Amino acid sequence: MAIHHLVASLLLFFSCCHAVAAGAGVRGRLPPTLATWRQYAAAAAPPPQVVQYETRYFTQRLDHFNELPASNGTFRQRYLVNGTFWGGAAAPVFVYAGNEGDVALFASNTGFMWEAAPRFRAMLVFVEHRYYGESLPFGGTRAAAFADASAAGYLTTAQALADFAELILSLKSNLTACKAPVVIFGGSYGGMLAAWMRMKYPHIVMGAVASSAPILGLNSESKHCYDVLRNSWSEMYKALATDAGRARLNQTFNMCKGNVDDIPGLVEKALIYGSMMDYPTPSNFLTSLPAYPVREICRAIDKPTSGNDTVSRIKDAMTIYYNSTGGLACFPGAGAEDDDPYGMFPGWTWQACTEVIMTMSYGIGNATVFPPDPFNLTAYLAGCLATTGVPPRPHWIQSYFGGYDIRNVLKRSGSNIIFFNGLRDPWSAGGILKSISNSIIALVEPKGGHHVDLRFSTKEDPEWLKKVRRQEMRIIADWLKQYYSDEAIDSMMN
C-alpha cells in the first residue's frame, strides 16, 4: 500500500537541509542548482520545433547603483526573441527571467510561454542572467568575470533585476510599444526573480508567474523502498572502508575510472533531483527520465534485476535517474568532464555564498532517508568568506525584498503574482502555499513537481496539470483585461 513517508522525508530534508557539491573552502553544501541535474546525464533531447528565436545582445551597464568610474563599464547581455505571434504595439510582451544558466536552456523548456503566446498575441523574450551563459562582464570570458571579488562583485540579485528593467524598457522603446503590458515568468530561482521583479518594478511588469519559487518526496511509493534507502548509507560506507568492499562497489555500479568514492554523492543527487523532477510524463529537462521517476526508483528497489542485496538494489535505482535510456556504458563520477556543461557553478557558488543564502536548504535531520548532517551557519559563513574573499550577507535578501514577513509585505504592497508549487517538489516547503489576496494567488498541487506547470504540455498530461495551466491562463487574461481597461486601450484579447 502506497504511503507518504518517503516524500515527506525529502520535504523535511529540504525544509532544513540541502544538496549539492560545495565550492572549495565551503563547509557543507550549496543550494541545488540546475548544473547538478545535468552533471551525470546523457545528452538532453533537442528542443521542440516551435522553439525558434532570434538571438540579440543588449549593451548593459555594469553597475546600476553607483556613479564610480568603474560603474560605467558595460557588457553584452544576451536575450532571445520570438515575435511570430505578436499583435503589435499594445500587445503583451512575455518575458522569462533568466535563471542560473544558459538562457537557451530555459527557452527550450518553458513550453507554457510558447503555448500561451498565440492565444495572447504575445511577443516572447528570454533574458539571460548576468554572469551566466554568454552574458559575462569583463571581456566575455568566465575566467575574467570570476577572476577575483572585484570582478564577481557585480553579480547580485538587485543588479540582475535592474538589468531586466533596463532591457525591457529599451526593447519597448525600440518597438514603439510603450503601452505594451509585460508579464514576467520564471521557475525556481527564476521564479524568485519574477516575483521580486513584480514587487520592485511594478511600473515595468504588470504581472508575474512565479513557479516553484522558494522565496521563504519518497515514501509515497513503498515503505520497503524507504527502508532500503535509509539503510543503504551504512552499507555503502562500510563497503568503502575495505578493498574488497570497494571492488564490489565498482563491479556492481560499473564506475568509470573506478571512482567509487563518488557513489554516495551520486545516490544523494539522484534522490533529491529525481524528487524535484517527479513529473507525471516522461521528460528530457537536462536528463532523460520516465514518468514519475520516484515511483520508478522505488520499483527498481522493490523488484531489482541486479541482485537482492542492498547495494544491487541501489544500483538499479540509480540507473533510473542516470541511465534510463541505456546510453551510458558506465557511471561517471565527480571528475567527469561535463561536471558543469552550462557554466553554472562559478556564478551560483558566488551567489549562494554572498546573498542567496537559503538556510532552509541546509542541514539534514533524523527523519529523512539521508544520514543526519547538522548545519552550522557560523562554519558555513566562514567557509564562504574563505571561498569568495568577501563577508557573506545572510540576511540581505530578507531585508531587500521583505522576506522576514513576506506574506504581510505582499498583502500590503503586492499584486498580480501567481505562485505555483507542487508538493512532490521538496522546494515547495519554501514557497507561498496559500493565496494572500484576490490578485496574489497560490496554486498548489499535491501531485506536482518542480515548475511542472511551465513545461510543454503533452497528450499524457493528467487532468490536474491541465487544470493548473487553464487557471494560469485565465488569471493572466484577467490581468490583461484589467490593464487594457485601466489604460483605455482597445482590448487585444478580442
Q: Do the beta carbons of residue 147 and residue 136 sit within 8 Å?
A: no
Catalytic residue from among 425, 428, 451, 453: 425
Among candidate residues 336, 337, 335, 301, the one with its CA nearest the CA of residue 320 = 301
Q: What letter does residue 337 receive in the DSSP assignment? A: T
Largest Cα separation within the chain, whole Å, is 77
Distance from chain centroid for Cα 354: 18
| Alpha carbon distance 257, 38 (integer Å) | 19
Catalytic residue (choose from 9, 135, 188, 415): 188
The 8-class DSSP code of residue 291 comes to S
Catalytic residue, chosen from 5, 18, 129, 450, is: 450
- Which residues have a Cβ under 8 Å from the Cβ of 460 and sit 6 or more positions away? 280, 281, 282, 291
**One-character DSSP codes across 306-320:** S-SSHHHHHHHHHHH
Instruction: Extract the C-alpha cell encoding 122.
Output: 504575445
| Residue 425 among the catalytic residues | yes
Q: What dihedral do alpha carbons 258, 262, 264, 265 form, nearest 10°?
A: -150
Q: How far apart are CA 65 and CA 11, in angstroms?
A: 38
Is 450 catalytic? The answer is yes
| Distance of alpha carbon 171 from alpha carbon 129, whole angstroms | 16
Active site residues: 188, 425, 450
